[in-house]
Amino acid sequence: MKLNALLAGAALALGLAGAAAAQDKTKVGFVFVGPIGDGGWTYEHNQARLAVEEKFGDAVETVYQESVPEGADAERVLTQMALSGADLIFTTSFGYMDPTINVAQKFPDVKFEHATGYKRADNVGTYSARFYEGRAVQGHIAGRMTKSNVVGYIASFPIPEVIRGINSAYIHAKAANPDVQFKVIWAYTWFDPAKEADAATALIQQGADVILQHTDSTAPQAAAEKAGGIITFGQASDMAEYAPMPRVSSIIDNWAPYYINRVQAVMDGTWESDDTWDGIGAGMVKIGEISNAVPEDVKAEALALKEAIASGAHHPFTGPLNKQDGSVWLAEGEVADDGTLAGMNFYVEGLTGDIPQ
Protein backbone atom coordinates (compact mmCIF):
# COMPACT_ATOMS: atom_id res chain seq x y z
CA MET A 1 0.00 0.00 0.00
CA LYS A 2 2.65 2.38 1.12
CA LEU A 3 4.97 1.23 -1.65
CA ASN A 4 2.20 1.75 -4.18
CA ALA A 5 1.62 5.27 -2.98
CA LEU A 6 5.33 5.91 -3.21
CA LEU A 7 5.57 4.57 -6.73
CA ALA A 8 2.52 6.56 -7.79
CA GLY A 9 4.10 9.68 -6.37
CA ALA A 10 7.33 8.97 -8.20
CA ALA A 11 5.47 8.35 -11.45
CA LEU A 12 3.60 11.62 -11.04
CA ALA A 13 6.80 13.52 -10.35
CA LEU A 14 8.34 11.85 -13.38
CA GLY A 15 5.43 12.82 -15.57
CA LEU A 16 5.62 16.43 -14.41
CA ALA A 17 9.35 16.53 -14.98
CA GLY A 18 8.87 15.06 -18.45
CA ALA A 19 6.22 17.62 -19.31
CA ALA A 20 8.39 20.45 -18.05
CA ALA A 21 11.35 19.27 -20.08
CA ALA A 22 9.27 19.00 -23.23
CA GLN A 23 8.35 22.65 -23.07
CA ASP A 24 11.80 24.11 -23.11
CA LYS A 25 15.08 22.73 -24.44
CA THR A 26 15.55 19.54 -26.36
CA LYS A 27 17.77 17.39 -24.19
CA VAL A 28 20.23 15.16 -26.01
CA GLY A 29 22.25 12.49 -24.19
CA PHE A 30 25.43 10.75 -25.31
CA VAL A 31 26.90 7.56 -23.88
CA PHE A 32 30.58 7.05 -24.66
CA VAL A 33 32.63 3.89 -24.37
CA GLY A 34 35.97 5.66 -23.83
CA PRO A 35 37.14 8.92 -22.31
CA ILE A 36 36.37 12.01 -24.44
CA GLY A 37 40.10 12.69 -24.56
CA ASP A 38 40.99 9.38 -26.24
CA GLY A 39 42.00 11.18 -29.42
CA GLY A 40 40.04 8.70 -31.53
CA TRP A 41 36.54 7.21 -31.56
CA THR A 42 35.00 8.87 -28.52
CA TYR A 43 36.81 12.13 -29.22
CA GLU A 44 35.06 12.41 -32.60
CA HIS A 45 31.63 11.60 -31.15
CA ASN A 46 32.21 14.30 -28.58
CA GLN A 47 33.25 16.76 -31.30
CA ALA A 48 29.93 16.04 -32.97
CA ARG A 49 28.15 16.64 -29.67
CA LEU A 50 29.85 20.04 -29.47
CA ALA A 51 28.81 20.72 -33.06
CA VAL A 52 25.19 20.03 -32.05
CA GLU A 53 25.53 22.53 -29.21
CA GLU A 54 27.04 25.11 -31.49
CA LYS A 55 24.39 24.65 -34.17
CA PHE A 56 21.33 24.83 -31.92
CA GLY A 57 22.67 27.02 -29.11
CA ASP A 58 20.13 27.53 -26.36
CA ALA A 59 17.56 25.31 -28.02
CA VAL A 60 19.39 22.18 -26.91
CA GLU A 61 21.01 20.90 -23.79
CA THR A 62 23.48 18.05 -24.18
CA VAL A 63 24.63 15.68 -21.46
CA TYR A 64 27.14 12.88 -21.76
CA GLN A 65 28.75 10.12 -19.81
CA GLU A 66 32.17 8.78 -20.73
CA SER A 67 33.92 5.44 -20.13
CA VAL A 68 30.66 3.55 -19.64
CA PRO A 69 31.28 -0.23 -19.55
CA GLU A 70 29.26 -2.25 -22.04
CA GLY A 71 26.73 -4.38 -20.16
CA ALA A 72 24.67 -3.98 -17.00
CA ASP A 73 26.17 -0.59 -16.16
CA ALA A 74 25.20 0.80 -19.54
CA GLU A 75 21.57 -0.10 -18.91
CA ARG A 76 21.55 1.85 -15.66
CA VAL A 77 23.29 4.85 -17.20
CA LEU A 78 20.77 4.91 -20.04
CA THR A 79 17.82 4.60 -17.68
CA GLN A 80 19.07 7.44 -15.53
CA MET A 81 19.61 9.58 -18.60
CA ALA A 82 16.10 8.86 -19.82
CA LEU A 83 14.71 9.63 -16.35
CA SER A 84 16.54 12.94 -16.36
CA GLY A 85 14.35 14.01 -19.25
CA ALA A 86 16.49 13.30 -22.31
CA ASP A 87 14.52 13.42 -25.57
CA LEU A 88 17.16 11.72 -27.72
CA ILE A 89 20.06 9.52 -26.66
CA PHE A 90 23.01 8.44 -28.81
CA THR A 91 24.68 5.22 -27.66
CA THR A 92 28.01 5.13 -29.39
CA SER A 93 29.40 1.63 -29.09
CA PHE A 94 28.38 -1.77 -30.38
CA GLY A 95 28.17 -3.30 -26.90
CA TYR A 96 25.34 -0.95 -25.92
CA MET A 97 22.98 -2.75 -28.30
CA ASP A 98 20.96 -4.89 -25.87
CA PRO A 99 20.93 -2.26 -23.10
CA THR A 100 19.65 0.32 -25.62
CA ILE A 101 16.85 -1.96 -26.79
CA ASN A 102 15.90 -2.84 -23.18
CA VAL A 103 15.78 0.75 -21.98
CA ALA A 104 13.99 1.91 -25.13
CA GLN A 105 11.16 -0.49 -24.32
CA LYS A 106 10.68 1.20 -20.95
CA PHE A 107 10.74 4.74 -22.39
CA PRO A 108 8.66 4.73 -25.58
CA ASP A 109 8.73 8.54 -25.79
CA VAL A 110 12.50 8.81 -25.77
CA LYS A 111 14.32 8.35 -29.07
CA PHE A 112 17.49 6.29 -29.22
CA GLU A 113 20.23 6.13 -31.83
CA HIS A 114 22.61 3.19 -31.55
CA ALA A 115 25.92 3.23 -33.42
CA THR A 116 27.15 0.13 -35.29
CA GLY A 117 24.40 -2.24 -34.10
CA TYR A 118 21.74 -4.19 -35.95
CA LYS A 119 18.76 -4.23 -33.59
CA ARG A 120 16.09 -1.60 -34.12
CA ALA A 121 12.71 -0.69 -32.61
CA ASP A 122 10.09 2.00 -33.13
CA ASN A 123 12.13 4.39 -31.03
CA VAL A 124 15.58 2.94 -31.75
CA GLY A 125 17.42 3.76 -34.95
CA THR A 126 20.89 2.58 -35.91
CA TYR A 127 23.70 4.32 -37.73
CA SER A 128 27.18 3.49 -38.77
CA ALA A 129 29.79 4.64 -41.22
CA ARG A 130 31.30 2.67 -44.09
CA PHE A 131 34.76 2.81 -42.60
CA TYR A 132 35.81 0.08 -45.00
CA GLU A 133 35.73 2.67 -47.80
CA GLY A 134 38.44 4.57 -45.98
CA ARG A 135 40.29 1.30 -45.36
CA ALA A 136 40.46 0.79 -49.13
CA VAL A 137 42.31 4.08 -49.60
CA GLN A 138 44.55 3.24 -46.64
CA GLY A 139 45.27 -0.21 -48.02
CA HIS A 140 46.31 1.26 -51.35
CA ILE A 141 48.77 3.66 -49.74
CA ALA A 142 50.05 0.89 -47.46
CA GLY A 143 50.65 -1.47 -50.39
CA ARG A 144 52.50 1.20 -52.36
CA MET A 145 54.58 2.46 -49.43
CA THR A 146 55.77 -0.75 -47.78
CA LYS A 147 59.36 -1.77 -48.50
CA SER A 148 59.40 -4.91 -46.38
CA ASN A 149 56.07 -5.97 -47.95
CA VAL A 150 54.80 -6.65 -44.44
CA VAL A 151 51.83 -4.62 -43.22
CA GLY A 152 50.92 -4.88 -39.54
CA TYR A 153 47.30 -4.55 -38.44
CA ILE A 154 46.18 -3.94 -34.87
CA ALA A 155 42.65 -5.33 -34.75
CA SER A 156 40.32 -4.83 -31.79
CA PHE A 157 37.55 -7.44 -31.58
CA PRO A 158 36.75 -10.08 -34.20
CA ILE A 159 33.40 -8.55 -35.14
CA PRO A 160 32.19 -7.95 -38.72
CA GLU A 161 33.10 -4.26 -38.75
CA VAL A 162 36.74 -4.99 -37.94
CA ILE A 163 36.99 -7.98 -40.29
CA ARG A 164 35.50 -5.86 -43.08
CA GLY A 165 38.24 -3.30 -42.52
CA ILE A 166 41.00 -5.89 -42.69
CA ASN A 167 39.59 -7.39 -45.89
CA SER A 168 39.10 -4.04 -47.57
CA ALA A 169 42.61 -2.83 -46.70
CA TYR A 170 44.14 -6.13 -47.82
CA ILE A 171 42.28 -6.26 -51.15
CA HIS A 172 43.50 -2.78 -52.10
CA ALA A 173 47.02 -3.28 -50.75
CA LYS A 174 47.29 -6.47 -52.77
CA ALA A 175 46.02 -4.73 -55.91
CA ALA A 176 48.74 -2.11 -55.51
CA ASN A 177 51.47 -4.56 -54.54
CA PRO A 178 51.01 -8.30 -55.23
CA ASP A 179 53.80 -9.26 -52.79
CA VAL A 180 52.21 -7.65 -49.76
CA GLN A 181 51.31 -9.72 -46.72
CA PHE A 182 49.33 -8.77 -43.60
CA LYS A 183 50.10 -9.65 -40.01
CA VAL A 184 47.11 -9.17 -37.69
CA ILE A 185 47.23 -8.86 -33.90
CA TRP A 186 43.97 -9.02 -31.96
CA ALA A 187 44.18 -6.61 -29.03
CA TYR A 188 40.69 -7.30 -27.58
CA THR A 189 40.25 -3.69 -26.65
CA TRP A 190 39.00 -0.49 -28.25
CA PHE A 191 41.17 1.69 -26.09
CA ASP A 192 44.19 0.60 -24.09
CA PRO A 193 47.31 2.62 -24.88
CA ALA A 194 49.68 0.13 -23.21
CA LYS A 195 48.29 -2.88 -25.09
CA GLU A 196 48.17 -0.98 -28.38
CA ALA A 197 51.78 0.14 -28.02
CA ASP A 198 52.85 -3.46 -27.28
CA ALA A 199 50.99 -4.69 -30.34
CA ALA A 200 52.61 -2.05 -32.56
CA THR A 201 56.08 -2.89 -31.25
CA ALA A 202 55.52 -6.60 -31.77
CA LEU A 203 54.42 -6.00 -35.37
CA ILE A 204 57.42 -3.80 -36.06
CA GLN A 205 59.71 -6.52 -34.68
CA GLN A 206 58.09 -8.95 -37.09
CA GLY A 207 59.19 -6.77 -39.98
CA ALA A 208 56.13 -4.60 -40.54
CA ASP A 209 56.95 -1.10 -41.81
CA VAL A 210 53.32 -0.01 -42.11
CA ILE A 211 50.95 -0.20 -39.15
CA LEU A 212 47.19 0.02 -39.54
CA GLN A 213 45.07 0.18 -36.41
CA HIS A 214 41.45 -0.39 -35.52
CA THR A 215 41.95 0.75 -31.93
CA ASP A 216 41.38 4.29 -30.76
CA SER A 217 44.48 5.61 -29.03
CA THR A 218 47.53 7.31 -30.48
CA ALA A 219 49.87 4.87 -28.71
CA PRO A 220 50.69 2.94 -31.92
CA GLN A 221 51.65 6.25 -33.57
CA ALA A 222 54.02 6.99 -30.71
CA ALA A 223 55.52 3.49 -30.89
CA ALA A 224 56.04 3.86 -34.65
CA GLU A 225 57.63 7.27 -34.23
CA LYS A 226 60.05 5.82 -31.72
CA ALA A 227 60.97 2.91 -33.98
CA GLY A 228 61.54 5.28 -36.92
CA GLY A 229 60.90 4.71 -40.61
CA ILE A 230 57.46 3.24 -39.95
CA ILE A 231 54.26 4.70 -41.34
CA THR A 232 50.85 4.72 -39.67
CA PHE A 233 47.36 6.09 -40.23
CA GLY A 234 45.14 8.03 -37.85
CA GLN A 235 42.14 6.01 -36.73
CA ALA A 236 38.67 7.53 -36.17
CA SER A 237 40.32 10.90 -35.60
CA ASP A 238 42.93 12.71 -37.69
CA MET A 239 45.80 12.26 -35.18
CA ALA A 240 47.52 15.08 -37.07
CA GLU A 241 50.00 15.67 -34.25
CA TYR A 242 51.91 12.67 -35.66
CA ALA A 243 52.02 14.05 -39.23
CA PRO A 244 53.87 14.03 -41.59
CA MET A 245 55.60 10.93 -40.19
CA PRO A 246 54.67 8.38 -38.98
CA ARG A 247 51.05 9.38 -39.66
CA VAL A 248 50.73 9.76 -43.42
CA SER A 249 46.93 9.92 -43.60
CA SER A 250 43.87 8.98 -41.59
CA ILE A 251 40.26 7.92 -41.58
CA ILE A 252 38.14 10.49 -39.80
CA ASP A 253 34.66 9.75 -38.53
CA ASN A 254 32.51 12.78 -39.13
CA TRP A 255 29.34 12.37 -37.10
CA ALA A 256 28.39 16.04 -36.81
CA PRO A 257 26.09 16.34 -39.88
CA TYR A 258 24.22 13.18 -38.90
CA TYR A 259 23.80 14.21 -35.27
CA ILE A 260 22.59 17.69 -36.22
CA ASN A 261 20.18 16.16 -38.70
CA ARG A 262 18.71 13.77 -36.13
CA VAL A 263 18.41 16.38 -33.38
CA GLN A 264 16.60 18.61 -35.88
CA ALA A 265 14.24 15.73 -36.70
CA VAL A 266 13.38 15.29 -33.01
CA MET A 267 12.73 19.04 -32.69
CA ASP A 268 10.47 18.97 -35.75
CA GLY A 269 8.72 15.84 -34.59
CA THR A 270 9.73 14.04 -37.79
CA TRP A 271 12.16 11.55 -36.24
CA GLU A 272 11.65 7.97 -37.36
CA SER A 273 13.62 4.85 -36.66
CA ASP A 274 15.87 3.91 -39.56
CA ASP A 275 19.21 2.38 -40.44
CA THR A 276 21.83 4.75 -41.77
CA TRP A 277 25.07 3.46 -43.26
CA ASP A 278 26.94 6.28 -44.96
CA GLY A 279 30.44 6.47 -46.34
CA ILE A 280 32.82 8.82 -48.08
CA GLY A 281 30.17 10.00 -50.54
CA ALA A 282 27.85 11.33 -47.84
CA GLY A 283 30.74 12.81 -45.86
CA MET A 284 30.42 10.54 -42.84
CA VAL A 285 33.86 9.08 -43.55
CA LYS A 286 36.66 11.45 -44.40
CA ILE A 287 40.22 10.83 -45.49
CA GLY A 288 42.65 12.97 -43.51
CA GLU A 289 45.22 14.96 -45.44
CA ILE A 290 47.83 12.76 -47.09
CA SER A 291 51.16 14.04 -45.83
CA ASN A 292 54.19 14.93 -47.95
CA ALA A 293 55.92 11.75 -46.78
CA VAL A 294 53.85 10.05 -49.48
CA PRO A 295 55.17 10.47 -53.06
CA GLU A 296 53.02 12.58 -55.37
CA ASP A 297 52.03 9.73 -57.67
CA VAL A 298 50.87 7.53 -54.79
CA LYS A 299 48.95 10.44 -53.35
CA ALA A 300 47.26 11.09 -56.70
CA GLU A 301 46.27 7.41 -57.00
CA ALA A 302 44.87 7.40 -53.47
CA LEU A 303 42.82 10.52 -54.10
CA ALA A 304 41.53 9.09 -57.37
CA LEU A 305 40.47 5.93 -55.53
CA LYS A 306 38.73 8.04 -52.91
CA GLU A 307 36.84 9.95 -55.62
CA ALA A 308 35.84 6.72 -57.35
CA ILE A 309 34.44 5.36 -54.09
CA ALA A 310 32.68 8.63 -53.27
CA SER A 311 30.98 8.76 -56.66
CA GLY A 312 30.01 5.09 -56.49
CA ALA A 313 32.14 4.19 -59.51
CA HIS A 314 34.18 1.78 -57.40
CA HIS A 315 32.88 -0.51 -54.67
CA PRO A 316 35.70 -1.77 -52.40
CA PHE A 317 34.27 -5.29 -52.51
CA THR A 318 34.04 -5.98 -56.24
CA GLY A 319 34.62 -9.47 -57.72
CA PRO A 320 36.41 -11.55 -58.61
CA LEU A 321 37.00 -12.28 -54.93
CA ASN A 322 37.46 -15.60 -53.19
CA LYS A 323 37.15 -16.43 -49.53
CA GLN A 324 40.25 -17.46 -47.58
CA ASP A 325 39.48 -21.16 -48.11
CA GLY A 326 39.52 -20.63 -51.87
CA SER A 327 35.76 -20.85 -52.42
CA VAL A 328 34.24 -18.27 -54.73
CA TRP A 329 32.60 -15.31 -53.01
CA LEU A 330 32.02 -12.74 -55.72
CA ALA A 331 32.14 -13.39 -59.46
CA GLU A 332 33.81 -11.00 -61.89
CA GLY A 333 32.19 -7.57 -61.61
CA GLU A 334 29.79 -8.60 -58.83
CA VAL A 335 29.66 -6.33 -55.77
CA ALA A 336 28.98 -7.43 -52.21
CA ASP A 337 25.52 -6.81 -50.81
CA ASP A 338 25.10 -4.94 -47.54
CA GLY A 339 23.71 -7.98 -45.74
CA THR A 340 26.88 -10.00 -46.32
CA LEU A 341 29.05 -7.04 -45.40
CA ALA A 342 27.11 -6.39 -42.20
CA GLY A 343 27.69 -9.93 -40.95
CA MET A 344 31.12 -10.53 -42.49
CA ASN A 345 32.90 -13.28 -40.58
CA PHE A 346 35.49 -14.54 -43.07
CA TYR A 347 38.80 -13.41 -44.53
CA VAL A 348 39.29 -13.00 -48.26
CA GLU A 349 41.76 -15.17 -50.11
CA GLY A 350 45.40 -14.35 -49.47
CA LEU A 351 45.08 -13.32 -45.84
CA THR A 352 46.85 -15.70 -43.50
CA GLY A 353 45.97 -16.70 -39.95
CA ASP A 354 42.56 -17.38 -38.49
CA ILE A 355 39.85 -15.14 -37.19
CA PRO A 356 39.73 -15.99 -33.47
CA GLN A 357 36.94 -18.41 -32.65
Positions in the binding site for other proteins (CB under 8 A)? 3, 6-7, 9-11, 13-14, 17, 29, 35, 63-67, 69-73, 75-77, 79-81, 83-85, 94-95, 98, 118, 157-160, 188, 342-345, 356-357
Least distance CB 55 / other proteins (angstroms): 19
Least distance CB 112 / other proteins (angstroms): 15
* CB nearer other proteins, residue 228 or residue 339: 339
**Residue 320, preceding bond cis, omega within 30 degrees?**
yes
Least distance CB 73 / other proteins (angstroms): 6
Q: What is the C-alpha separation between 134 and 276, in angstroms, rounded?
A: 17
* CB nearer other proteins, residue 17 or residue 303: 17
Tally of residues, the chain: 357
* CB nearer other proteins, residue 63 or residue 227: 63
Q: What is the C-alpha separation between 342 and 66, in angstroms, rounded?
A: 27
The full DSSP string for 289-314 is: PPPTTS-HHHHHHHHHHHHHHHHTS-
Q: What is the C-alpha separation between 21 and 150, in angstroms, rounded?
A: 56
Task: Enumerate helices (H) and strands (E) in the chain, giving the number of each.
Answer: 11, 14
Q: What is the C-alpha separation between 12 and 243, in angstroms, rounded?
A: 56
Pairing, β 111-115 against β 124-129: parallel
* CB nearer other proteins, residue 77 or residue 211: 77
Least distance CB 354 / other proteins (angstroms): 11
Least distance CB 53 / other proteins (angstroms): 12
Q: What is the C-alpha separation between 87 and 266, in angstroms, rounded?
A: 8
Least distance CB 335 / other proteins (angstroms): 20
Least distance CB 343 / other proteins (angstroms): 5
Find the distance separating the first CA and the last CA of the chain, reported in whole Å. Answer: 53
AA letter at 348 = V
Q: How far is CA 279 from the centre of its chain?
A: 11
* CB nearer other proteins, residue 295 or residue 356: 356
* CB nearer other proteins, residue 158 or residue 281: 158
Least distance CB 158 / other proteins (angstroms): 6
* CB nearer other proteins, residue 153 or residue 242: 153
Residues in a beta bridge with 321: 330
Contacts of 126 (CB under 8 A, 6+ apart): 113, 114, 115, 116, 117, 118, 119, 120, 275, 276
* CB nearer other proteins, residue 327 or residue 357: 357
